[in-house]
Amino acid sequence: MKKLRLLIESRPFCVFDNTPMEKLQAADALEITDMRGSGIDNPDFVDALKNADAVLCGNDLVVDEALLEMAPGLKVIAKQGAGLDTVDIEAATRHGALVFHTPGVNNQAVADHTFAMILALARKITYCDTSLREKRWEHTKILGLEIWQKTLGLIGLGAIGRCVALRAAGFQMKVVAYDPFWPEDFAAEHHIERMQVEDLLRAADIVSIHAPLTPENRGLINSETLALMKPNALLINAARGGIVREADLYQALKNGVIAGAGLDVFEKEPPTDSPLLELDNVVLTPHTAAFTHEAMNLMNVVIVDELLDYVAGRKPAHCVNPQVWEQHRR
């Protein structure tokens, strides 16, 4: 039986625990090329891609029409994480490549990170830390905000948004939300008010984004929508960078249109030239919201299980183009 040639690109794959990798290596049906952290700027990676039957990728590799043409034999795209904005599903389907991913594995990690950023902004934790390290004692000069009983606006009430909403209950916050696929039962049980985006931006003291990057919401947060927010409001984005126009956000933060922002994701990563780096009313983290030992290990386990299901002739749990699976079975 011909082995499935698997090219591993995902930089974070098995960083903390090599057990899932060992599980792949033990599979007789796989021939593995380990090029973690590499990409199409490396000629050796391109050569490996040309011969690959499957690729295990993270957020760095953009799987589009051009890449798929480099890999005529590609049958499988195993994407670590929930986000699929780096994978052109329609192009993959045309090329007969099955796409599956790992939704749900990092829900708790991202929700924790969201509240870490909210609290860091509200209580100016980063500024306080810097002030002390610079030998200043600004004991009575630094005033924070309480988040207790404030209004939290969630743009996106999917799996991660719901985890954030549950945490908000501990702060006795009022939660309002927008989601085109409204979870009626969950919202009713947890007293979450449904709003359109514009009304949510006007009402919320803290706005947190938990939506996928789609053509409809690219640039959703811009100069016009930022102007709807309260001047003491905070904006959190631990979803995808393209949802926020960073140049507009910079002006809003600089000019006091809103009070602060916490960003884990950026339009361009890494954001080495971003003017946001100059501001002290913004908290920035390097796309690490999903990076906990627990979440990363679970992500590795799930993607490996799905790959092994595929080579064993079983349908992977989280296929996003199941019609291709039916083609593979013929």
Average pLDDT value for residue range 160-184: 98
75 has a pLDDT exceeding 80 = yes
Lowest mean pLDDT among 78-82, 165-169, 261-265: 78-82
Place of tokens 């924070």: 144
pLDDT of residue 115: 98
Alpha-helix runs per DSSP H in 134-244: 159-169, 184-189, 197-203, 223-226
Q: In this model, does residue 330 exceed pLDDT 90?
A: no
Longest Cα–Cα distance of the chain, Å, equals 73
Please measure the distance between the N-terminal and C-terminal CA atoms of the chain and give it in whole angstroms. Answer: 17
Q: Cβ(65)–Cβ(85) under 8 Å?
A: no
Under DSSP, is residue 132 helix (H, G, I), strand (E, B) or coil? Answer: helix
Average pLDDT, integer, range 192-221: 96
Per-residue CA distances from 19 to 22, 224, 293, 301 (Å) = 5, 49, 13, 9
Annotated catalytic residue, options 65, 146, 224, 269: 269
Whole-structure pTM value: 0.87
Q: Which two tokens stand for residue 243?
A: 């949802």
Q: What angle do CA 169, 242, 12 make, to 5 degrees?
A: 80
What pLDDT, on the 0 to 100 scale, is given for residue 82? 86
Residue 329 has pLDDT above 80, yes or no: no
Considering 240, 245, 246, 318, which one is annotated as catalytic? Answer: 240
pLDDT tens readout for residues 227-240: 999 999 999 999 99
**Average pLDDT of the segment spanning 212-232:** 96
Contact assessment for residue 222 and residue 210, using Cβ atoms and an 8 Å cutoff: no
Residue 201: which of 180, 230, 231 has the closest Cα?
Answer: 230
Apex CA 56: angle with CA 50 and CA 60, to 5°?
90
Is there a cis peptide before residue 212, judged by omega within 30 degrees of 0? no
Mean pLDDT along residues 42-60: 96
Strand ranges, E, within 122-199 = 151-155, 174-178, 193-194
Q: How many CA atoms lie within 13 A of 196 on its CB side?
A: 4
What superfamily does domain 107-284 belong to in CATH? Answer: NAD(P)-binding Rossmann-like Domain (3.40.50.720)
Residue 297's pLDDT is: 93
The tokens of 248 are what?
């507009």
pLDDT of residue 83: 85
d(CA 149, CA 27): 53
Q: Which amino acid is at 229?
A: M
Question: Where residue 275 falls among pLDDT bands split at 50, 70, 90?
Answer: very high
**C-alpha span between 36 and 318 (Å, rounded):** 23
User: Given pLDDT bands bounded at 50, 70 and 90, which one contains residue 1?
Assistant: low
Same fold, 4-105+292-329 and 107-284: yes
Measured distance CA(21)–CA(239) in Å, rounded: 28
Q: Give the pairing of strands 260-263 and 234-237.
A: parallel
CA distance 139 to 118: 21
What confidence category does residue 328 fall into, taking pLDDT thresholds of 50, 70 and 90? Answer: confident
Q: Is 191 a catalytic residue?
A: no
CATH of domain 4-105+292-329: 3.40.50.720
The 10 Å Cβ neighbour count of residue 41 is 7
With a cut of 80, say whether residue 143 has pLDDT above it: yes
**Residue 36 appears among annotated catalytic residues:** no
The residue extents of the domains of the chain are 4-105+292-329, 107-284
Q: Is 330 helix (H, G, I), strand (E, B) or coil?
A: coil
Summary mean pLDDT of the chain: 96
65 included as an active-site residue: no
**227 Cβ partners below 8 Å, 6+ apart?**
252, 257
Distance CA 226, CA 198 (A): 10
The backbone torsions φ and ψ at residue 79, rounded to the nearest 5 degrees and listed phi first, read -100, 120
Selection from 37, 85, 78 nearest residue 300 by Cα? 78
**Which distant-in-sequence residues (6+ apart) come within 8 Å of 64 by Cβ?**
88, 91
